[in-house]
Amino acid sequence: MALNIQILSKRQTETWPSWHLVYEWEDVMAKDLNIPIVTSSSAAAILDNRYVQKILSLAFAKTIAQRIDSLFRSKTKHISFEIRLKRSFSYSNNINAIPIIIDFYKNKESDQFYQTYRNSSLICVTSIEVFNYLLTKNYPLNIKHLPLSLPDQYKLSRDTVFEKEYTLILAGRRNPTLWSYLNEYLLTAPDLEFLYQENINGELVYVSNKKGIIGKFNTREEYMNLLKKCKIAFYSTPGIDGEEHLTGGFSQVTPRYLELLSSGCLVLGRYKDNAETAFYDLDRFCPNVQSIDQFSLVMNSYMSTQQPDIPAYSSYLEQHYTSVRSKQLQQYIKDMDS
């Protein structure tokens, strides 16, 4: 059955690196579902204007907009990724929209979730922790869990052999606990070279503690190639170790974990024991270090390990590629129409 669906993309207007992964998901889904990608219209751009958003976040304005919007129900629906939960009426939560919400935190936006998304006939959230939370609210909404994924172009072959150039990478934001453990560990391993991200003159660059700046790695290809050169990687979920106030307690597994595995990295980290980390079976390949002693034991073991169990990584990742999510989304849409 052909789907009367299109993907509404922001690729012509949003160039921030966080969106590049979203566009890769869109490309895979468009191919798998045989649906077009269309760029945001001028009307969508107007709704994205911060002043318009502020007005449409007001209860009376939002209600009026939704009542008008309900008159324009169409057989054609559009999928729209949202990096952050919206607070205002928008093209991505109107009556013909299928929003896929990535970051969902407990804050003033989540308090207004029902009022904001009540026109949408299907709403996908990427965190099972958030999904379970929304179920307790008993909202009369069609809410589904659509987990985050690894784009299929990064599939890991069982016979891949990686040539590693760097010992350790701290990709993305820096977890304060892992950072403190690392600095203590360096007292016994002063020759360890590691890479970390730094904002220098408004630009994000990767820096080696031994060689200084090694590059920007702004594109997805550059970033993934860098990960493939690194033997060990730290990984942590947001909303822990002092960041709880930023997420309201939610702690979602991010695609970086899947990216690290597909790049053949040995991973150790910090994360909550919750439904989200259980869903991704995080402790299978990523020890959750709780002390400097445990950190040191894992690091010493990893330093002496040549390669991780690539066939095990490959088998695990098979359940988390974007093509798997495409099939889930396709079924959700079919169920919506039945």
User: Where exactly does CATH 3.40.50 map onto the chain?
Assistant: 5-148+321-337, 156-317
Share of the chain above pLDDT 90, in %: 71
Interatomic CA distance for residues 315 and 296, integer angstroms:
28
**Reduced to 3 states, what is the DSSP secondary structure of residue 259?**
helix
Interatomic CA distance for residues 318 and 324, integer angstroms:
8
Average pLDDT, stretch 289-313? 96
Are the C-beta atoms of residues 98 and 79 closer than 8 Å to each other? yes
pLDDT at 269: 96
Are the C-beta atoms of residues 9 and 39 closer than 8 Å to each other? yes
Pick one of 3.40.50, 3.30.1490, 2.40.128, 1.10.3470 as the CATH number of 5-148+321-337: 3.40.50
Interatomic CA distance for residues 111 and 86, integer angstroms:
11
> Which stretches of 123-239 are DSSP H helices?
128-137, 176-185, 220-228
pLDDT at 309: 96
Interatomic CA distance for residues 235 and 285, integer angstroms:
11
CATH of domain 156-317: 3.40.50
> Which residue, among 120, 144, 149, 172, has the nearest Cα to 26 in the 3D structure?
149
**Per-residue confidence at 66, pLDDT binned at 50, 70, 90?**
confident
Given a cut of 80, is residue 185 above it in pLDDT? yes
Q: Which of 59-68, 113-122, 160-169, 283-292 has the lowest mean pLDDT?
A: 59-68
For the entire predicted model, the pTM comes to 0.93
DSSP conformational letter for 89: -
**Per-residue confidence at 1, pLDDT binned at 50, 70, 90?**
very low
First to last CA, the chain: 12
**Per-residue confidence at 338, pLDDT binned at 50, 70, 90?**
low
Are the C-beta atoms of residues 279 and 253 closer than 8 Å to each other? yes
Instruction: Write out the two tokens for 2.
Output: 């052909």
**Per-residue confidence at 133, pLDDT binned at 50, 70, 90?**
very high
pLDDT at 180: 97
> Which residue, among 33, 79, 19, 8, has the nearest Cα to 255 in the 3D structure?
19
